[in-house]
Structure 1
Amino acid sequence: MEAFVSQDKVVAMVSRTGRELQRYRKGRRQVVGCIPYRYKNDVQTSLESLEELQVLIITSKKGKAMLFPKEKLGKWSFKSKTYDTFYEGYMFPLLVQDQLEFWPEQHVRQRIWMSISEAKEVCQHWWMKEALERLVNRLTAQKYGRVKQVVVFEIRLNTSSLVALP
């Protein structure tokens, strides 16, 4: 089954800002992110070796931290050192096939493709490193057919359409 979302159905919006617009569950702020990944070989569909996999890391707005942009890899609960707030974070894998040259925060953040081992070095939070491990485990399990059902959401950035593949 393929489901296409036409360009007129896609809504471009910036993330919610301000405490009154943030979402909470049981007193914990909810945040959602993804680990954009790609294979060095564009035609590859499964993980043959770790060296073939790259992930996209972005810089924080202040440029001091490396982050992932915000079927689920997992859920993590953690406390913010800056705001003394508890967070509930959800991470999803995102296979990237095309990348736009221009993007909304290009003047505030940098995009850097790097290997899994490089990403583990620059990730400052334990849950980000664990999410990377889960991504590798998921892609490895996919290769050997150990994943019963994987839904891949593919964003074709050059056509602005969203495709869901079973």
Structure 2
Amino acid sequence: MSSTLQARTGRHLQRYENHFRLVAGCIPYRINRHVDNPTGDLLSMLEVLMITSPNQHDLVFPKGGWENDEAMDEAASREALEEAGVRGIIHDSLLGVWEFRSKSKQNLCGQEGACRGYMFALEVNEELEFWPEQSTHDRKWLNVWEAWKLCRYDWMREALNSLSILITGKPVRLVAVPEISESTSLFCLVKPSGTECVDSAINAFC
């Protein structure tokens, strides 16, 4: 079964500024109070949602083009719904603004593919069983240390660190990263349809 929601397509409403494509995104998060956490440390209960990237062997946070007919936070919420199938409460304050090159333009010189990304925190309160871009994006909840190890780019780790400080008051980067047991399925994403796990070469970036 597919989602009745429709993802936006095309770039006729895309915002640009000084050769930068403007992008809005978010880090969806939840507080999992059922984890084994004898100390009650909030950082240990913080989990974030990452999604697979089409034609890439990595995990990313939901993000996409900010369009002319929507506010920045509306664009970030829309991308979370379209790509990750989640709704929630978006924080008013930005996690930060980062400039980067789109994945398809990584090897080019000049300004082609340049993006300016505005990232928010999204407290998830609803997960959809079906969503618009389900066929190209799987999703997985991870604790902050798992997510930190899987962030391919510096800006992603910086955004994750900002989220951790916002929600728990503690940075990820200055806290000792626990050893992750082999039983933790970091490299096995369960398809929403309940089919077999999707093998990934994500460990190449850990």
What is the aligned counterpart of 2:132 among 104, 117, 134?
A: 104
**1:114 corresponds to 2:107:** no
Native 8 Å contact 1:16 1:22 kept in 2: no
**1:17 corresponds to 2:17:** no
Q: State percent identity of aligned pairs.
A: 42
What is the aligned counterpart of 2:117 among 89, 109, 131?
A: 89
Q: Which runs of 4+ in 1 moved over 6 A?
A: none
User: Relative contact order (alpha carbons < 8 A, sep ≥ 6): 1 or 2 greater?
Assistant: 1
Native 8 Å contact 2:95 2:119 kept in 1: yes
Question: How far is the alpha carbon of 1:64 from its aligned partner?
Answer: 2.1
The TM-score, its normalising length taken from structure 1, stands at 0.68
The aligned counterpart of 2:25 is 33
Hey, what's the Cα distance between the residues in 1 that align with 2:167 and 2:56?
30
The aligned counterpart of 1:66 is 59
Q: After superposition, give the CA deviation of every residue in 1:46-100 in whole Å (9 maximum; x if it has no partner).
A: x943210100000012252211011211101123363242110010000012211
Question: How far is the alpha carbon of 1:107 from its aligned partner?
Answer: 1.8
The aligned counterpart of 1:76 is 98
Q: Secondary structure at the match of 2:127?
A: coil
How big is the alpha-carbon RMSD for the aligned residues of Structure 1 and Structure 2? Answer: 2.2
Give the strand-richer structure, 1 or 2: 1
| Structure 2: stretches of 5+ with no match in the other structure | 35-39, 64-92, 106-111, 171-206
Map 1:133-144; keep pairs closer than 5 Å.
133-141=161-169
Hey, what's the Cα distance between the residues in 2 that align with 1:102 and 1:38?
20
**One-letter code aligned to 1:117:** W
The TM-score, its normalising length taken from structure 2, stands at 0.55
Native 8 Å contact 2:43 2:168 kept in 1: no
